[in-house]
Structure 1
Amino acid sequence: MKRKLLLAALFISAAMFAQKKTFNNPLLPAGADPYSTYHNGYYYYTHTLGNKLMLWKTKNLADLKNAESKLVWTPPAGTAWSKEIWAPEFHFINNKWYAYFAADDGENKNHRMYVLENASADPFKGTWELKGKIATDIDRWAIDGDVFTYKNQLYMIWAGWEGNVNVQQNIYIAKMSNPWTIEGGRVMISEPTYNWERQGDLNDPSNPPHVSVNEGPQFLQHGDDAFIVFSSSGCWTDFYNLGLLRLKGTDVMNPQSWVKNPEPVFTKSEKNGVYAPGHNSFFKSADGKEDWILFHANDNPGEGCGNKRSPRMQKIKWNADGTPNFGIPVSNKEILQIPSE
């Protein structure tokens, strides 16, 4: 009897251990625009909440449901950055933490990028202080900022308008002189040109009106190859998807250096019950050997840009030509191995 009980206990322990090594999407019931940063053995995760900035801390993103969380910043009322706080990102740069986000005063036309700074090595500690607005001299509408370093130079990429009216959303890039200041002007490196970037009518996919959207740009580097992955079409439609820019050459500030893939690289899967996959970010496994994509999507058609979008992740493969292969969005029923440790 004792032997049977011991074997049963070992079986249960083994099963629990195995469960920790696998997961199913989604990672949380809701959470749009997911982003994570790996630092000192922990993943620091965040997503859009609209009225505040939250951080989750975990050693395993697949176990995000049980992660420690902390409210790190609530905007003061009555400012230009009090409302509609979108797509936050947390970066550790020059031994300080920076939180980048888009915000406005309640009117979308006033959306701009802002940044907070925290001198503590632990983002759950210290004080988050507003460094200010990040903008070029012309100061146009801006959302979805992503900051990256390439060849020892800091850059920001974001989605913006050419003028003061929403005609279309483009992807812009600018150099940064420090983590809170843009140096010089902006350069447009992508605008919606293909039909898959201009889908806007869920009810009539055969004849959609043009909704020209490039947004949510994310920098991705693999060896010597550099890419920008972006979201396109209306987020309120099932056609929301991911496009790819590849750097040809070394001058990231030259629009001609960025070559757009003629087809989207990540789209809905009706078979797997995943709709409107987009606004992604990237992370590496803890051992640095695997590349993963983190994105949001809906479980059903027609769920749009609301709070039914949930964060998901899956492993990236690499094609022979050096480009990333995201595959198709996996079903919520599919059992996946957690990132390698």
Structure 2
Amino acid sequence: MEIQQRALHDIQPLIEQRADPFIYRHSDGYYYFVASVPEYDRIEIRRAQNLEELVTSTPVVIWRKRETGILSANIWAPELHFIDNKWYVYFAAAHTTETNEGLFDHRMYVLENENVNPLQGSWMERGQVRTEWESFALDATTFEHNGSRYYVWAQKDPNIEGNSNLYISKMSNPWTLTGPQTMISLPEYDWEIIGYKVNEGAAFLRKGNRVFLSYSASATDYNYCMGLLEADADADLLDATSWRKSQTAVLSTDESISMYGPGHNSFTVSEDEEETLFVFHARTYKNIIGDPLYDPNRHTFVTELLWTADGRPDFRSSVEALARSLQ
């Protein structure tokens, strides 16, 4: 008997109007959720014991932007990490002056909280993460691998044409880089340079004997898409030649399921921690009035991450499975 494949339907968001989503499942059994809010003026955290309850859980604002100067505009892409029994939030913020509204003038910052519950306690500003240049920088993530802590971020090299490249460095503590800072990817393929020359929003994943960094590229409208870097797990991650890059986008707009501009993802795990989950944002329509950055309807989607036969993350099949699961 021939098995009939279920039809694709328009994908539906888990949480509306939250871009750059980051979900972390902690050892206390809670999922913690942070993301860019449409107003770009604050950082909030919500938590729940399952993903569905994140939708209705009450966000707690842990930090608000300043009125002027540094940290006063465009609060973007927070990530929440638990390191050495403390909570850290990594985020990007711009500074404003009388003549500058802070767009594309971001730096990267860190907050710290010693409380067991990050929705409580006090958050200390650990300050700016300093890199080789004082230039546009954003979308930092951090991970531990083979006994070392790494930091990956997007930044504008003043000597390279384009908006942002991806860099990696080791950390001496959760807010300080140490040693060499290596560029591991710059926008070079046609799908990475539509509107803007962008590589940003990296997310780390390990499976078997390989490590992966997914990332996003091009402008934040329907041209936004995802690429993938991979390296051997025992390679020197600070050596740019260790990383191999996908020559085509691994996820992009799919009008058949009303998914436009997918990207800026993170990874989490299922409640039983048996499956990896793929978290990303996208819009459900193509045409945008005005600057895409100020369109609030980038929504958070979550689906099980599927894998190719040769052990690589299969983002397209994962999203198609989500579309088929809807009635």
2:252 maps to a residue whose letter is: T
Match of 1:31 among 18, 35, 45: 18
Q: Which residue of 2 aligns with 1:5?
A: none
2:64 maps to a residue whose letter is: T
Q: Which residue of 2 aligns with 1:168?
A: 163
Match of 1:48 among 36, 41, 51: 36
Name the CA shift for 1:181/1:336 in 2 (closer, same or farther; >3 Å).
farther
Q: CA deviation at 1:332?
A: 8.3
Identity of aligned residues (%): 37
Match of 1:100 among 85, 90, 111: 90
Unmatched segments (≥5 aa) in structure 2? 1-10, 97-101
For 1:74 and 1:94, the matched residues in 2 are separated by: 25
Q: CA deviation at 1:269?
A: 1.1
1:68 maps to a residue whose letter is: T
Q: Which deviations, in whole Å up to 9, do the C-alpha atoms of 1:21-78 show, x marking residues without a partner?
A: xxx7211221110001111100000110211010111112233221232111113322
For 2:12 and 2:53, the matched residues in 1 are separated by: 11
2:81 maps to a residue whose letter is: H
Question: Does 1:65 find its partner at 2:50?
Answer: no
For 2:66 and 2:160, the matched residues in 1 are separated by: 27
Do the aligned residues in 1 keep the contact of 2:66 with 2:72 (CA within 8 Å)? yes
SS at match of 1:271: helix
Name the CA shift for 1:333/1:327 in 2 (closer, same or farther; >3 Å).
closer
Question: Does 1:256 find its partner at 2:244?
Answer: no
SS at match of 2:268: strand
Q: Which residue of 1 aligns with 2:313?
A: 324
Do the aligned residues in 2 keep the contact of 1:33 with 1:87 (CA within 8 Å)? yes
Unmatched segments (≥5 aa) in structure 1? 1-23, 201-210
Do the aligned residues in 1 keep the contact of 2:163 with 2:198 (CA within 8 Å)? yes
Do the aligned residues in 2 keep the contact of 1:31 with 1:310 (CA within 8 Å)? yes
Do the aligned residues in 2 keep the contact of 1:27 with 1:65 (CA within 8 Å)? yes
For 2:41 and 2:322, the matched residues in 1 are separated by: 29
For 2:263 and 2:270, the matched residues in 1 are separated by: 21
For 2:285 and 2:182, the matched residues in 1 are separated by: 37
For 2:151 and 2:323, the matched residues in 1 are separated by: 37
SS at match of 2:191: helix
Name the CA shift for 1:26/1:244 in 2 (closer, same or farther; >3 Å).
same
RMSD: 2.0
Q: Which residue of 2 aligns with 1:125?
A: 120
Name the CA shift for 1:165/1:127 in 2 (closer, same or farther; >3 Å).
farther
Q: Which residue of 2 aligns with 1:286?
A: 271
For 1:100 and 1:80, the matched residues in 2 are separated by: 15
TM-score normalised by structure 2 residue count: 0.88
Q: CA deviation at 1:319?
A: 1.6
